[in-house]
Chains A and B, each alone.
Chain A
């Protein structure tokens, strides 16, 4: 039944993108490990984690699209779920260092020795096990989103108010994680990782494997998200986005619907963060900065919200642009990013994918109209809810 749920009713373009991501999951590691250096097909070592990073961002943007594009919840705090997933993974990686740290303490990470802590805080227990850390990657962001959403949606906090308090949430976490007393490395965060699952984290093979798992996870998440939004529940979700009060009056429990998608989305963001940390090699409180969360929104908007594949494309494009820009003209990057925000909202409200889809739809309708004028019988199209068209949620 679950396979049925996952494999049925996908749009063709979603499947194409998923297939492309899977192809990358196989080809990039192969091109990195098997081809000789200097060959045209060779992918240099330093590009593998960079591309892996883009895919993590894409997964984060996909998670945001679920809540923003399909449910109208503009979360300005998704970076917090991402960072929490990252911290859970970072704690596992810290415990794997063992006695190889600067202070060679077998139990305590370096920063705790430095702060003169004598024993491991209780919330660090269990993080030496990978399965436990993996569970926490899902549970911690999920729980936060559940509690936060339960309070927020039940009292019908909507629109910009919700956006602002999600921003306050990530800001509060930013301040909290900067404190040394929290036991998460304070300002410096967690870094100097050595091993993941027994493999050297710096080795090209490990990095290739990390890239492959990120791509695989992204493809799975895309299929899952597509299945969710095309299910009956997904249709109601779109109803909530476009006319919340009406959906409520029809008898749906709007707050439960929102709560579910918000929690699922937070867990996806947590996974993205967990995959991000071993590839980047550091997690620090800066990831909680409100600016980061807003940047995720712009990736989603550029690609096209409410399309699932749009945010993936947007995240990869914008971050690729960022890499190029910050290397070539570092002082102009913020100008470019700011202009991107303004231009997207003014001229490209549906994003790249949404605009292309709109164009295709218009063309099809014109052809139909031309055909109808020629007098041929046209079977009336079934009145389905077609491609969701993003609208402003008030």
Chain B
């Protein structure tokens, strides 16, 4: 009272303009208290100073209180703390930051603190509880960050820790959140918190529903932990949800296996389809088929090198250039092989098998001599790398593109066979070579083109394989026996047989793998095919007619 009165007296004594200036200054001060961060930060100071006093539990409390303010300056302070840069006098009191070179600064403003030496201070030590508290606090704070990625990872963190004490914080964040993915994470986190705390049964039931709706492995673990400490009237509900999720996950596993199987099957389809053509139309077993695949992969490598050297801007299109190049290169080599070797061996399939085997040895050794025995690096273009999640499926882009590519090749080939003149002639030669010849079809010409086509497709398969397998001289060897199995299983002379054969072998392989292991699964497949051949010696889709028996 006395003080106010004395001020009044003072003001009365001063000249009017001075009084006005004083009032203005007060106004500015008041405005700054509401608007200026600097002033707001001053409110943090006692909270920061609390970090330097008491034992670990008290300090953890202090961290929580600090975080609860939601001030944008807090993450910085907490980073100092977790980096071990915050110091306090032994007796307690103001907290300072000791940075590089023992420079003592004020943690809030960053201005050097004169007259305080680092030697008189003691580092604020951390333990795991405190570190945990800091991490949670940081994620709470970043939950409200304008950066979407930061919020997303914060939401993930908070779901992991799911401390019921943070319930109100999550509620606050939920109210503001617009992003669907983050919102669902937060909702789950909220549900877990509700389950952990002592909410009403109705709330908990709703929470269980929310968690169960996520339907992934995390939800399963959350529910299993919840089941352990659940009251008797909730346990059956939780158990039911757990069973539901487990069933759902099993379904996703089946889907994942089918996806892997389709992926393997499409690779087999690419490798086998050329073989099916040469074998189906010409009755030629081409043991060098795997080497055509290998040549296609090396063509991709050469194209990639050439593009990188001469037109670096087109690097992402290297693969698109490699597809037709590989087709042309291998098709030309195939035609040369047909004209040079195979045409002298028609009607002697076993000899053809031996000659083409010899050829495959030569091609392998030639590549080994030119490019060396080690693997060559073929890069994935950006649009073929990475993964995308579809429900519970992890779909890699390169596998997806290979499936698309192999189906495209398959249907293009089917159209060629059914709609074009060459296709008509090829089918005629397949069904009855002598009759076709009598009708004026130049069978040697058809043979050469057919062999070229089959080899060209093998070359394109090589382009695809270069994306998922090692490009080495032995590349073809790994696929040749599998391709034969596909052709034998599917039946010759019918492309649909090859498609069904490749996909079913691929899927069967991937379904056996979890139970029998990769190697045993493959052995089982081979045994099954050998048994299958006993039942249907000419494959699933056998050609019928009198031309078949010799």
Residue numbers of A with Cβ under 8 A of B are 74, 148, 151-152, 154-161, 163-165, 167-169, 171-172, 175-176, 178-179, 245, 290, 294, 297-298, 301, 331-332, 334-335, 337-342, 344-346, 349, 392-394
Sort A-B residue pairs by CB-CB distance and give the 7 closest, nearest first.
A341-B358, A338-B361, A338-B362, A334-B365, A392-B348, A172-B526, A338-B358
11 contacts between A and B (CB under 8 A): A152-B533, A156-B537, A294-B354, A334-B362, A335-B362, A338-B358, A339-B358, A345-B345, A345-B351, A345-B354, A345-B355
Q: B354 is contacted by which of A151, A167, A290, A341 (Cβ under 8 Å)?
A: A341
In the assembly, what is the distance between CA of A148 and CA of B531, in Å? 9
What chain B residues lie within 8 Å of A338 (beta carbons)? 358-362, 365
Q: Is B364 an interface residue (CB 8 A)?
A: yes
Are the CB atoms of B481 and A168 closer together than 8 Å? yes
Cα A67 to Cα B525 with chains together (Å): 27
Residue in contact with B344 in the complex, picked from A159, A176, A335, A346, CB distance below 8 Å: A346
Question: Are A157 and B534 within 8 A (Cβ)?
Answer: yes
B519: Cβ under 8 A from any A Cβ? yes
Which residues of chain A are within 8 angstroms of B550 by Cβ–Cβ distance?
245, 394
Residues of B within 8 A of A346 (CB): 341, 344-345, 355
B residues within 8 A CB of A297?
354
Contact call B350/A159, Cβ cutoff below 8 A:
yes
Q: Are B354 and A331 in contact (CB under 8 A)?
A: no
Q: Are A161 and B537 in contact (CB under 8 A)?
A: yes
In the complex, the answer to whether A179 meets B358 with C-beta atoms within 8 Å is no
Known: A159-B349, A164-B485. 7 other contacts (CB 8 A): A155-B534, A163-B285, A171-B526, A392-B349, A392-B351, A393-B350, A394-B347
Instruction: Write the nearest CB–CB distance from A77 to chain B, whole angstroms.
Output: 11
The main secondary structure of chain A at its interface with chain B is helix
Given the known interface contacts A294-B354, A346-B344, the answer about A334 and B530 at a Cβ–Cβ threshold of 8 Å is no
Q: Which residues of A contact B523 (CB under 8 A)?
A: 172, 175-176
Would you call B484 and A349 a contact (CB within 8 A)? no
Chain B residue contacts of A342, Cβ below 8 A: 341, 355, 358-359, 362
In the complex, the answer to whether A169 meets B530 with C-beta atoms within 8 Å is yes
Interface size on B (CB < 8 Å)? Answer: 44
User: What is the CB-to-nearest-CB distance from B497 to chain A, in angstroms, rounded to a whole number?
Assistant: 14
Q: Which residue of B lies closest to A332 (CB)?
A: B365
How far, in whole Å, are A175 and B509 apart by their CA atoms in the complex? 15
Query: Which of A298, A342, A393 has the most C-beta atoms of chain B within 10 angstroms of its own C-beta?
Result: A342
Total contacts A-B at CB 8 Å: 132
In the bound complex, how far is the Cα of B370 from the Cα of A331, in angstroms?
12
| B285 A168 Cβ-Cβ under 8 A | no
Shortest Cβ gap from B472 to chain A (Å): 15
Taking CB atoms and an 8 Å cut-off, the chain B residues in 150-184 that contact chain A are: none
Q: Is the interface of B mostly helix, strand, loop or mixed?
A: helix
A148 neighbours in B (Cβ, 8 Å): 530
**Bound state CA distance, A342 and B362, in angstroms?**
10
Inter-chain CA distance A337–B361, complex, in Å, is 8
Q: Which residues of B contact A160 (CB under 8 A)?
A: 285, 349-350, 353
B6 within 8 A of A: no
Residues of B with C-beta under 8 A to A345: 345, 348, 351-352, 354-355, 358
* CA of A154 to CA of B530, assembled, Å: 13
Contact of B537 among A155, A169, A172, A394 (CB under 8 A): A155
Residues in B whose Cβ lies below 8 Å from that of A340: 358
Min Cβ gap A279→B in Å is 26
- Give bound CA distance, A344 to B354, whole Å: 9
B260 at interface, CB cutoff 8 A? no
Residues of A within 8 A of B349 (CB): 159-160, 392, 394
Contacts A161-B533, A179-B520: A171 and B481 contacting too (C-beta < 8 A)?
A: yes
Chain A residues within an 8 Å CB radius of B546: none
A176 to B341, CA, bound (A): 36
A175 proximity list for chain B (CB < 8 A): 519, 522-523, 526
B397 contacts partner chain A, Cβ-Cβ < 8 Å = no
Q: For the complex, is B111 an interface residue (Cβ under 8 Å from A)?
A: no
Which chain A residue lies CB-closest to B345?
A345
Which residues of the other chain, A, contact B359 by a CB distance below 8 angstroms?
338, 341-342
B200 within 8 A of A: no
Is the Cβ of A178 less than 8 Å from the Cβ of B350? no
With an 8 A cutoff between CB atoms, is B319 at the interface?
no
Instruction: Find residues 341-382 in chain B having any chain A CB closer than 8 Å to their own CB.
Output: 341, 344-345, 347-355, 357-362, 364-366, 368-369
Partner of B534, one of A154, A178, A290: A154
- A179 to B368, alpha carbons, bound, how many Å? 29
| CB–CB A335/B365 < 8 A | yes
Contacting pair B530 A151 (CB below 8 A): yes
Cβ-defined contact, B369 with A164, below 8 A = no
A119 to B451, CA, bound (A): 56
CB-CB < 8 A to A349: which residues of B? 348, 351
B360, B481, B535 pick with most chain A CB within 10 angstroms:
B481
List the B side residues contacting A161 at CB < 8 Å: 488, 533, 537-538
Q: Which residues of B contact A163 (CB under 8 A)?
A: 285, 350, 353
In the assembled complex, the Cα of A82 lies from the Cα of B540 at a distance in Å of 33
Closest chain A residue to B549, Cβ basis: A245
Residue of A164, A175, A346, A393 with most chain B CB atoms under a 10 A cut-off: A164
Asked whether any CB of chain A lies closer than 8 Å to the CB of B126, the reply is no
A155 neighbours in B (Cβ, 8 Å): 533-535, 537
A344 to B355, CA, bound (A): 8
- The distance in angstroms between the C-alpha atoms of A164 and B485, with both chains bound, is 8
A337 cross-chain contacts in B, Cβ below 8 A? 358, 361
Nearest B-chain residue to A174, judged by Cβ: B523
Please give me the residue from chain B that is nearest to A297 by CB atom: B354
